[in-house]
Amino acid sequence: MLLQGKVMVVTGAGNGVGAEIAKLAASCGAKVVVNDAGVTTSGEGRDPSVANRMVEDIRAAGGTAVASVRNVADWDDAHGIIQDALDAFGRVDAVVNNAGILRDGLFHKMSREDFDAVDAVNLRGVFYVSRAAAPHFRQQQSGCYVHMTSTSGLIGNLGQVNYAAAKLGVAGLSKCIAIDMQKFGVTSNAIAPFAWTRMVATIPPTPENMHRLEVNRRLKPERIAPLVVALASEAGRNTTGQIFGVRNNEIYLFSQPRPIRTAHTAEGWTPQTVVERVLSAFQPSYFPLDKSNEVFSWDPV
């Protein structure tokens, strides 16, 4: 019962990774706010029954949960999600920012609407919900944030400029929350989950994607939840500002950007000396245009 007495808010908890986190947290003693607006994978429509069904499942298994059907992409709704936790349970101890949508497309064809919609949920929604919880965490001098990032942002993927930009933004947001909130005893970490979900199932089954989809189907969403619960427990209070990955039975700690080469001149640089002395010297250390599935090229265990 690692989370006995704690209150956890999980966004996007009606399906997939979020649902598994909510169920495991409840089974470990947490009181859970299941937030899900019941939208499609592209962020359209509203179905309150999605969150309510998950609450019924948790209660049937002996856990404690309430539903919140508010939209993370709206500032007032995001604050309402945290208020739902306070109204139901009197406090909030952990926020899991899991809600996300996809609107994939090649960069030169991507519309403003598709970029803005993904940014609104996947990045601004993370900020809104986190910001809503911050005063309560500060007052009680404790709290835990877990944010879902993605290797689409950390490494790169084809046709996901909007999603990658938002998810890399989540990694930066998580790190700076950790820095700003450390003095209040609050932790913030990011996880890049590998899992077969309804969002991943929208990847088109093109010939070049067939092997990737075959591998993805073996990635179970319930494998993400144990790390989230561990981070939200008292034992996780010394872990903050990190980026993890979970891929079935593997857990990764990702590196974070740091300088790897340097060039210096006493007289200052000109475009010509940069070309002659910097670009040519740095070129052997350039990162290739890898995609996520090329970096994680081995089959999951």
Active-site residue set: 163
250-253 and 243-247 beta bridge pairing: antiparallel
User: Quick one: tokens of 16?
Assistant: 């997939």
* Terminal Cα-to-Cα distance of the chain (whole angstroms): 27
Half-sphere CA count of 53, side-chain side, radius 13 A: 10
Residue tagged 């500060």 (tokens): 138
Strand partners, 215: none
- Strands of the sheet with 186-194, listed across from one edge: 64-68, 31-35, 7-11, 94-97, 143-148, 186-194, 243-247, 250-253
Whole-angstrom CA distances from 225 to 131, 133, 190, 207, 270 are 23, 21, 13, 32, 52
Backbone φ, ψ for residue 105 (5° rounding): 175, 150
Distance between CA atoms of residues 7 and 28, nearest Å:
11
